[in-house]
Amino acid sequence: MFKYIVKRIIISLLILLGVSLILYVLLRCMPTDFIEQRIVQLKASGQDVSDEFIQQMYKTYGLDGSILQGYFTWLGNVFRLDFGKSFINQRDVLKEIFDPDKMGTSFFVAAIATVFEFLIAIPLGITAATHQYSLRDYVVTVLVLIGISLPSFFFGQMLKDIFANKLGWFPVSGMKEAGITYASAGEAIGDYLRHMFLPILTVVILSIGARMRMTRTNMLEVLNSDYIRTARAKGLKESVVIYKHAFRNTMIPLVTGLAGLIPSLFSGAMITETVFDLTGIGSYALNAMTQADIPVIMTYNMFLAFLSVMGVLLADLMYAVVDPRVKLA
């Protein structure tokens, strides 16, 4: 087991190296870069920009050499745990990305949304499966399909319009009420939660569908298997048949799916955050992307790649835990 994990970690490191190379090359191949955008801005504001100044700029930002040169410089710095500074505001990348305001907000939204997603989607999937082709099944299926099909920018905007603009139950956007000093910590938390409610609701409703469909399909497959018939033939109650014998088998793909969700907890919901004006990591990364802020994008994406690789490893380990037939070697 230990040997297996070490082996997998070594392989993961190689994968990460490959990912970083591809990422860096792609970023450098973008039709525009940070300097170019900056020059355009300067020129637009009527300043004279000399060629020397441009060369100087490229040199300062380390973009003067070839792509491979740039990559190895970046890689060498990373091995010295130097992830560079953001092109945009010259602050340390690590501090920028792991800022509790950014990563924290996104993680809070994603974590709460994931918990609710599972709490709602799994029971829905199970009832839909155990009442296959009944009215309940059709209603649940149609509702979650609507959820899957709605684009987040539209659905988020709609919720905002109904609950914030028309009904006024929730604030329209942002993280906290502007210009208010809180009397107590409880009030501050309450205000924060009120601001987070609509974004979380959007993410939950949009993600329930896929998870519910998956649970339903798995459950149906399990319920049609021979060992469920055996369990019934023993005289077990239907609830025990479903929640003990069938559920453990349905859980196998769900648990491994949970491990695969780890990166999405930290990646942030780009569009939802933009709609609700949250300073999450998603909208921050989107901004960095449009401005070609290479150190930020590299670090952000490498962090997600790392989480993905670890998530896959965790999923495999989880498989061995929930399914006795799987042996790791």
| 243 lies in the binding site for other proteins (CB under 8 A) | no
Angle between helices 34-44 and 51-60 (to 10 degrees): 140
Determine the interface stretch with other proteins among 9-17, 83-91, 174-182, 243-251 (rule: CB under 8 A).
243-251
CB of 244 to other proteins, least distance (A): 8
Q: Is 136 in the site for other proteins (CB under 8 A)?
A: no
- For residue 5, the one-letter residue type is I
Q: Does residue 245 belong to the site contacting other proteins (CB under 8 A)?
A: yes
Minimum CB separation from other proteins for residue 228, in Å?
7
Best CA proximity match to 105, nearest among 206, 195, 171: 195
- Which residues 6+ apart lie within 8 Å of 210 measured at CB? 148
Contact 272/202 with Cβ under 8 angstroms? yes
Is 225 a binder of other proteins (CB under 8 A)? yes
Q: How far is the CB of 318 from other proteins (least distance, A)?
A: 13
The backbone region for 286, taken as left when phi is positive above 0, alpha when psi lies in -120 to 50, beta otherwise, is alpha
Q: How far apart are CA 292 and CA 142, in angstroms?
A: 41
Interface with other proteins includes 138 (CB under 8 A)?
A: no
Q: Residue 329, interface with other proteins (CB under 8 A)?
A: no
What do you get for the CA distance between the two ends of the chain, in Å?
A: 7
- Pick the stretch among 148-156, 194-202, 226-234, 266-274 that binds other proteins (CB under 8 A): 226-234
Please tell me whether residue 232 binds other proteins under the rule CB under 8 A.
Answer: yes
- Cβ burial, residue 16 (10 Å; 0-12/13-18/19+): middle
At its nearest, how many Å lie between other proteins and the CB of residue 212?
22
Stretch of residues binding other proteins (CB under 8 A), selected from 10-18, 237-245, 274-282, 294-302: 237-245
Q: Which is nearer to other proteins, 1 or 321 (CB)?
A: 321
Query: Is residue 321 a contact point for other proteins (CB under 8 A)?
Result: no
Residue 2 per-residue DSSP state = H
> Using the rule CB under 8 A, is 226 a contact of other proteins?
yes
β strands within the chain, DSSP E: none
Choices 50-58, 122-130, 140-148, 235-243; region in contact with other proteins by CB under 8 A: 235-243
Is the CB of residue 67 less than 8 Å from the CB of residue 27? no
Contact residue for other proteins among 168, 179, 186, 324 (CB under 8 A): 324
Contacts of 96 (CB under 8 A, 6+ apart): 86, 89, 102, 284, 296
CA nearest to 125, candidates 261, 217, 203, 258: 217
Whole-angstrom distance, CA of residue 312 vs CA of residue 263: 10
Question: Which residue in the set 43, 59, 91, 237 belongs to the binding site for other proteins (CB under 8 A)?
Answer: 237
How many residues bind other proteins, per CB under 8 A?
Answer: 24
Does 252 engage in binding with other proteins (CB under 8 A)? yes
Give the nearest distance from C-beta 179 to other proteins in angstroms: 57
Using rule CB under 8 A, residue 133 touches other proteins: yes
Binding site for other proteins (CB under 8 A): 133, 224-238, 245, 248-249, 252, 322-325
